[in-house]
Chain A
Amino acid sequence: MIPQNHFLILGAVLFAMGLYGALTRRTAIGILMSIELILNAANINLITFNKFIGGPDGLGQVFALFVMAIAAASAVIGLVLVIAVYRNMKTIFTEKMNILKW
């Protein structure tokens, strides 16, 4: 059986990749994709802790499913926003989106 730490390391690596991507990507779509990685890292952790630490069976999986559903919804909204912004500003680079700035 694969020990708990492997899962946690996988989650941490995924999280770190996501965070790195979110901080360094210039395009909004890249940032969105990175955020999905972070969410998946969280999902792995949820399932892992449910499996190894306790709690009712399948609670972690259910939670992970919810997170995925909500992540899908938020991704849709995010993409819509990106498209709307692109239509108006002809760019998806986040540093160019500064019309609300003081």
Chain B
Amino acid sequence: MVRYAHLIPLFPFAAFAVNILFGRRLRKASALVSIGASFISLAIAAVTFIGNARCGEGSYMVGRWLSFGGISLDFGVTVDPLSCMMLMVVTVVGTLIQIYSIGYMRDDQRFSRFFAYMSLFMGSMLGLLLSDNFVMLYIFWEGVGLCSYLLISFWFERPAAAKAGMKAFITTRIGDTGLLIGILLLFSATKTLYFRDLGNLGINDSLLTVIALLIFCGAVGKSAQFPLHVWLPDAMEGPTPVSALIHAATMVAAGVYLVARTYGLFLAHHSSLIWVAYIGAITAFMAATIATVNNDIKRILAYSTISQLGFMMLALGVGGYDGGTFHLMTHAFFKALLFLCAGSVIHAVHTQDIFKMGGLLGKMKATGWTFIIGALAIAGVPPLSGFWSKDEILSEILREGHPVLFGIAAVTSLLTAFYMFRLIFVVLFGKPRSELHAHESPAVMTVPLGILAAFSIFAGFFRPVEFEPIMMGVSIAISAAGIGTAYVFYILGNKILPAPLRARFSFLYKLISNKYYVDEIYEALIIKPSMRLAGIAAAFDSKVVDGAVNLTAYLSAVSGKLQYWFDLYIVDGIVNMAANITWLCSAVFRRLQTGFVQNYILIAFFGLAIMILIKLTGGQ
């Protein structure tokens, strides 16, 4: 049995504490603190992983936490294949991204602050993975949300970054509210919050469905599924390593992980699963189409992430638990790789517009080739990792008998291959489209790229896949078609955009390039009315509430003035009068106090003499 998994999140948390408290003094050494902590976590995670593979499930209780009304809540740790796999992914990817950040954030003023947040982010995510009940999960869930806010708006001097952080926080909060209600509902209905009990709850189906959908709400927010996907592209305002961490290992993986972790709840009733599948399918397709027309290197990758997450949700929704979680792992590696490559490119050329780049492969060999490996992996070219997981998802969708969903998934795969190679062809090949002074990034950035590229290639072999020749042929054909189309459009066509096509489908193009107007719809339907409501509330506040407060203040002031007057003339008058009387008396009597000792003695003597005289004369 493995008994030290609960130590894994502690090291990043400790690194956070050290960096946040002593960051100023540590300066660049704070990177070493964070990376060291990550390495220790990685080592423990590896030991846990091996132990789990050898001895099977090793969940255990760490300590009693709360105990109330006959119900107790424990600090427990879940060690099963799912959490072990994710622990490995998060620690490996997180560590590599932190190493990469040394190079990327080298000149940043808040260097140590950045590493502190990164450690906190990793710690929260690791804690989330290990939680064995909803309450712990929710705590770390919010921790992850907080860190995403802090890191997305890390360059808060830029208004766009500050706004993006807020958007991410508020949008995910909507989902989190659903999750919280779901947890409370589950608790009130079943009095249990442990994941291990989710298989057989013994409550009626409709309630179960409601709970499952509410919990799914949380996953929708965190994993940027339609209709709460709007925050993820804006999250690109953060530093690129953060984007990589959010997109690959931590934040968005949390949503998929939540669904996988509470899968028993969804399996219990099929209508909730179908919701998951359709939301996933819509998201996957929508985001993929947007990615095909976007021009910002990071935003393309962001939409690609949304699309791939939709894929995972779709897989989970049709019952493909293995495919979904497998894709979660492979995606973590190649998406981290892609983001770090994009970061390296941005670091070199200082622009994010792909149509200002071009021909970078010659100048940035390491970055370019790893970029291509990542793109091949995500496009699903065998034998790279993306192929195996995507293939498994596609065959699972078909096996479960959802032809419509299969169609959407197939088109999405095609689009994935297309937009990735559009990016590759435009950025890396051809001639530079503007004045670029590209140079290869330092080794501290390219070495993590190499390691991640290796993972992207070989992660697919981590688990056996059954060979289905027809299915494989289909998925290879899809990838080839996507890449081929991109080749025709952007290399052979030798035009910046396939203009005639765009002209023909101008309505569609406009719809897609405006991201289906989701942001605008939210603006019109939710944000504007909210703002108006807020305006009314503000007016009410400033006119009525403030008026009442001001009136009270005015009355207080008047009564204060009255009291002041009373105090000044009546109370003080009496006191002063007493003082004056005393003073007048003292003016008379102080004459007695001559200050000469002999005077006093003389008076005392005469007084005594008089008293004796009176005594002697007998008082007559």
Contact = CB atoms under 8 A, between A and B. Distances in A.
B596 A19 contact: no
A23 B602 contact: yes
A98 B590 CA distance: 14
Contacts of A28: 597
A65 to B, nearest CB: 25
A102 B590 contact: yes
Nearest to B605: A19
A14 to B, nearest CB: 15
Interface in B504-543: none
Interface of A: 19, 22-24, 28, 31, 94-95, 97-98, 100-102
A95 B595 CA distance: 7
Interface in B571-620: 590, 593, 595-598, 601-602, 605
Contacts of A101: 593, 595
A46 to B, nearest CB: 17
25 contacts: A19-B601, A19-B605, A22-B598, A22-B601, A23-B598, A23-B601, A23-B602, A23-B605, A24-B598, A28-B597, A31-B597, A31-B598, A31-B601, A94-B596, A94-B597, A94-B598, A95-B595, A95-B596, A97-B595, A98-B595, A100-B595, A101-B593, A101-B595, A102-B590, A102-B593
Nearest to A102: B590
A28 B601 CA distance: 13
A95 B594 CA distance: 10
Interface residues of B, number: 9
A23 B597 CA distance: 8
Find the residue from B590, B595, B605 having the highest chain A CB count within 10 A: B595
Nearest to A99: B595
Nearest to A34: B601
Given A22-B598, A23-B602, 20 more contacts: A19-B601, A19-B605, A22-B601, A23-B598, A23-B601, A23-B605, A24-B598, A28-B597, A31-B597, A31-B601, A94-B596, A94-B598, A95-B595, A97-B595, A98-B595, A100-B595, A101-B593, A101-B595, A102-B590, A102-B593
Nearest to A95: B596
Among all A-B residue pairs, the 8 with the closest Cβ atoms: A101-B595, A98-B595, A102-B590, A94-B597, A23-B598, A22-B601, A95-B596, A23-B602
B607 to A, nearest CB: 13
Nearest to B594: A101
Contacts of B598: 22-24, 31, 94
Contacts of A95: 595-596
Find the residue from A22, A28, A97, A100 having the highest chain B CB count within 10 A: A22
Contacts of B601: 19, 22-23, 31
Contacts of A100: 595
B603 to A, nearest CB: 11
A32 to B, nearest CB: 10
A97 B597 CA distance: 10
A98 B596 CA distance: 8
A18 to B, nearest CB: 10
Contacts of B602: 23
Contacts of B596: 94-95
B594 to A, nearest CB: 8
Contacts of A24: 598
Contacts of B590: 102
A100 B597 CA distance: 13
Nearest to B602: A23
A98 B597 CA distance: 10
Nearest to A94: B597
Nearest to A98: B595
Contacts of A94: 596-598
Nearest to A35: B601
A94 B601 CA distance: 13
Nearest to B586: A102
Contacts of A22: 598, 601
Contacts of B593: 101-102
Find the residue from B593, B601, B602 having the highest chain A CB count within 10 A: B601
A11 to B, nearest CB: 15
Nearest to B587: A102
B147 to A, nearest CB: 70
Contacts of A19: 601, 605
A9 B26 CA distance: 97
Contacts of B605: 19, 23
Nearest to A19: B605
Interface string B208-239: 00000000000000000000000000000000
Nearest to B598: A23
Nearest to A26: B598
Nearest to A31: B597
B464 to A, nearest CB: 102
